[in-house]
Amino acid sequence: AEESMIQSEKLSVIGELSAGIIHEIRNPLTSIKGFLQLMQSSEQINMDYIDIVMREIEQIENITGELLYFTKPKCEHFAPVDLGIIVQETVRLFETQALQHNIKLKLDTEASTHFINGEKTQLKQVFVNLVKNAFEASPDGSTITISLSTTDQGEDVFIQDTGSGMPKHVFNNLGKSFTTTKVTGTGLGLMVTYTIVKNHKGSVSVSSEENKGTTFHLSFPKAVKE
Ligand code: ADP
Ligand code: MG
């Protein structure tokens, strides 16, 4: 019953999204068509146009890539997983980028293990999305801190940056599809993130101050033996 509920929830998300998806994909398609027509009429290959066409195609790839989450039939296999390990693996993925931008990526944890019931690949997606956003908001030389702590209820994770923060109108629409302030953003990352956390019976809260930074606080119930 649980499984089918999650399934129908996904289908309804797709339904609600359809109009938005069509819009977000039609825009780059219109632009691709336009630039190809321009090249066709000038009978010349224009490298700038090719760059634009390439970028628009990448934008469609990004959008469809994030939406795959809602369509893929997944066998959701929830088992005890260690959030500490998942976060460590996530940090590793960003090490090169951190070096390139002189960003200090700190991992704070009190306990040696942080077990919850969950699906590793989905949870990894959550942390990748949040750390990626933190990077995109952070100036060179700043610090991003991820901390894990065990509470009476379960496991808490904080992803804290000292970057741009966000204005009210963005803050109030976080997690709604296509909310983005980035030129090549999809505005789908947090929607996917929130959905995964919810499927794990967890919660997300955010605090953010413009030009000061942002903290995402996730709470998950502790692992119980099935
Ligand atoms: P995208 O990253 O493609 O724009 P997301 O759903 O991941 O889509 O994020 C939506 C928007 O939320 C971002 O465009 C940005 O404006 C804001 N945001 C998310 N995380 C942060 C952060 N750590 N600092 C500042 N703004 C953020
Ligand atoms: Mg993002």
Q: What is the pLDDT along the chain (226 residues), one digit of tens a residue?
A: 555 555 566 666 667 677 778 888 999 999 999 999 999 999 888 899 999 999 999 999 988 888 887 776 666 789 999 999 999 999 999 999 999 999 999 999 988 999 999 999 899 999 999 999 999 999 999 999 999 999 999 999 999 999 999 999 999 999 988 899 998 888 999 999 999 999 999 999 999 999 999 999 999 999 986 5
Residue 224: what pLDDT?
Answer: 81
Mutate to test the pocket of ligand 1, among 133, 162, 206 (most ligand atoms within 8 A of CB): 133
- ipTM greater than 0.90: yes
How close is the Cα of 18 to the center of ligand 1, in Å? 21
CA-nearest residue, atom 9 of ligand 1: 187
- pTM assigned to the model: 0.85
What pLDDT was estimated at residue 88? Answer: 96
Three-class secondary structure of residue 41 per DSSP: helix
Q: Which of 196, 207, 2, 189 is nearest to 116 (CA)?
A: 196
Output the CA 188–ligand 2 centroid distance in Å. Answer: 7
Residue 170: C-alpha distances to residues 59, 83, 123, 175, 206 (Å):
21, 28, 24, 10, 12
Which numbered atom of ligand 1 lies nearest the CA of 164?
25
The set of residues, in sequence order, having a beta carbon less than 8 Å from that of 73 and lying 6+ positions away, is: none
Q: How far is CA 107 from the centre of its chain?
A: 19
Residue nearest to atom 21 of ligand 1 (CA): 133
Query: How many whole angstroms separate alpha carbon 221 and alpha carbon 216?
Result: 17
Token pair 């469809």: residue: 64
Pocket lining for ligand 1, CB < 6 angstroms: 129, 133-134, 137, 161, 163-166, 170, 174, 179-182, 185-190, 214
Mode of pairing for the β-strands spanning 79-82 and 143-150: unpaired
The residue type found at 129 is N
Distance CA 123, CA 69 (A): 12
> Would you say 215 and 158 are in contact if contact means Cβ atoms under 8 Å apart?
yes
